Amino acid sequence: MSEPSADTTTATAGSATGVRRLSVDELRTLFLFEGLTDDQLQWIAERGEVRTYDGDVAVYSEADPADYLFILLSGGLRMSRSVQGEDLTVVETQYRGAYSGAMRAFVDAADDTFTYANSLATTEPSSFLVLSSAHFAELMRTWFPMAVHLLDGLYLGIRNSESVVRQREHLARLGTLSAGLAHELNNPAAAAVRATGQLRDQVARARHKLKLLAYGKIDAELIAGLVELQETTMLEMADRPALSPVEVSDLEDGLIDRLDESGISGADDLAAVLASAGLGARWVDRVADAVSPDTLDGSLRFLANTFETEALMDEITEATTRISNLVGAVKQYAYMDSSATQEIDVHVGLDSTVVILGHKLGAIEVRREYDRSLPKIPAFAAELNQVWTNLIDNAADAMGGHGVLTLRTSREDDWLVVEVADDGPGIPADVLPRIFDAFFTTKDVGAGTGLGLENAKRIVCKRHRGEIEPVSSPEGTTFRVKLPLAQQLR
């Protein structure tokens, strides 16, 4: 066994109390070095150094450059990883030969930006054989070239699958968008169903009236007159502005008095229907002029019935139009009808994204400052919508449901500029440099995957050769996206 050499001082973290080398025979007892020749063991013996640590001290931490490989000779170790600020133990062992540290060093020696994948601490007074990552890399590449290739592939595979998993998580979060959208669709759909049910009752009542007519119990002349009155009234109503609840209630009061005057019983219901159609006491006068007193009651109810029918049909039209608009926005958003790249009007994409995110935007006011004279630009339309989605999604998160979201478009030389601005709290200076990093998020577990802006940047810069930059202050954040007005996309 060789004595500690003066030049191998302990520069790493921890409370090292001494250093020494291991002999070839000692190295042979470590499973990691199984099958190595004496020459190879000698090579390691000359370069590896023994370091001893007190119990319960940090040997290295996750953010440090991965400069060394540590192999446990005696004592115990604990490997941990920091997850969302919490230190999670990955392995705790006293197994002699357990190793930790510069495992990735051999992949690309030119890349010295590797940091440790975990933190290492002792659980009791311990000693390690320590090999620098440069030596470890040299050893691996020279003695086990094939293993290096295999490990490379394995590492890449793990990294890819982790990235796929995170991407899926991100998509799943976007999936909550479609849940919101389903909710948006459900409201008008339910309204249409309800109105259709009421309409069915109305039509049944109309059938009954038709039967009375068929038996000659109602004068055909009278019906013709009433239909005419109904039609002119409808035309007049179409031009009239909507009434406030106070105005409706005033009309209703006047109607009740007027109907009482004519001795019409149970006038409340009738008054309510007529008032909500915007009709008042003066209109009842017109009907009274057109029909005989004994048919006034029946005539008014007949007319009220047709107005109610009309209102229900309006409701159904409104609800189904809303459904159809939403479905249209979804088609537009996903560009279901068209090829991957095309000439697009950015405003169409921005607007359909706002519709898609409508549920999440809640009480947030959306202001559009569009330059409608901007030309169409070549783009991967559906992907660009992902950019607007991620930016608007972040803005909505920042504003917490209240505030103003401004969507602005303009031209700057050969660029089309889209700005997504919020009046949220802004991005803190220490967060700003990292926002485009994959998996960087300040949101709670499950609330953010940290892929939104990385995706947006990739789509803008790589796919469209554009630029994206944040401008942030405590008054709010604006993301500026610049897209080339003309280019050949591949």
Q: Which residues contact 334 (CB under 8 A, 6 or more apart)?
A: 382, 385
Residues 156-185 that bind ligand ATP (CB under 6 A): 170, 173
Which CB sits closer to ligand ATP, 268 or 365?
Answer: 365
**DSSP classification of residue 268:** H
Residues 398-417 that bind ligand ATP (CB under 6 A): 398
Pick from Mg ion, ligand ATP, none: which does 156 bind, CB < 5 to 8 A by kind? none
Q: Which of 255, 327, 252, 311 is nearest to 285 (CA)?
A: 255
Which CB sits closer to Mg ion, 66 or 391?
Answer: 391
452 touches Mg ion by CB under 5 A: yes
29 touches ligand ATP by CB under 6 A: no
Q: Which of 407, 418, 408, 428 is nearest to 377 (CA)?
A: 418
Q: Are 106 and 152 in contact (CB under 8 A)?
A: no
386 touches ligand ATP by CB under 6 A: no
Alpha helices in 380-432 (DSSP H): 381-399
Please choose, out of 147-155, 281-289, 333-341, 427-435, the segment that lies near ligand ATP by the rule CB under 6 A. 427-435
User: What's the min distance (Å) between Cβ of 472 and ligand ATP?
Assistant: 7
d(CA 242, CA 254): 18
Pick from ligand ATP, Mg ion, none: which does 398 bind, CB < 5 to 8 A by kind? ligand ATP
User: What's the min distance (Å) between Cβ of 268 and ligand ATP?
Assistant: 53
Q: Which of 410, 389, 413 is nearest to 480 (CA)?
A: 410
d(CA 131, CA 47): 7
Pick from ligand ATP, Mg ion, none: which does 351 bind, CB < 5 to 8 A by kind? none
448 touches ligand ATP by CB under 6 A: yes
β-strand partners of 408: 369, 419
Q: Which residue is nearest to ligand ATP (CB)?
A: 452
User: Binder to ligand ATP among 453, 459, 468, 481 (CB under 6 A)?
Assistant: 453
Pick from ligand ATP, Mg ion, none: which does 450 bind, CB < 5 to 8 A by kind? ligand ATP
Pick from Mg ion, ligand ATP, none: which does 121 bind, CB < 5 to 8 A by kind? none
Which CB sits closer to Mg ion, 188 or 452?
Answer: 452
User: Binder to ligand ATP among 477, 481, 482, 483 (CB under 6 A)?
Assistant: 477
Pick from Mg ion, ligand ATP, none: which does 477 bind, CB < 5 to 8 A by kind? ligand ATP
d(CA 423, CA 406): 9
Size of the site for ligand ATP (CB under 6 A): 23
Residues 308-347, mask of contacts with Mg ion (x by CB under 5 A): ----------------------------------------
Question: In the chain, what are the helix, strand and coil shares in percent, each to the nearest 5?
Answer: 50, 20, 30
User: What's the min distance (Å) between Cβ of 479 and Mg ion?
Assistant: 11
Q: Which of 126, 32, 116 is nearest to 79 (CA)?
A: 116
User: Binder to Mg ion among 122, 126, 353, 394 (CB under 5 A)?
Assistant: 394
Q: Are 120 and 77 in contact (CB under 8 A)?
A: yes
User: Token digits for 174?
Assistant: 């976007």
Strand intervals (E) in 66-118: 68-83, 86-93, 99-101
96 touches ligand ATP by CB under 6 A: no
d(CA 449, CA 442): 9
Alpha helices in 335-403 (DSSP H): 346-356, 358-361, 381-399
d(CA 302, CA 82): 75
User: What's the min distance (Å) between Cβ of 475 and ligand ATP?
Assistant: 11
Which CB sits closer to Mg ion, 284 or 395?
Answer: 395
Task: Using DSSP, state whether 226 is helix, strand or coil.
Answer: helix
d(CA 349, CA 355): 10
Binding site for Mg ion (CB under 5 A): 394, 452
Binding site for ligand ATP (CB under 6 A): 170, 173, 390, 394-395, 398, 422, 424, 427, 431, 435, 440-443, 448-454, 477
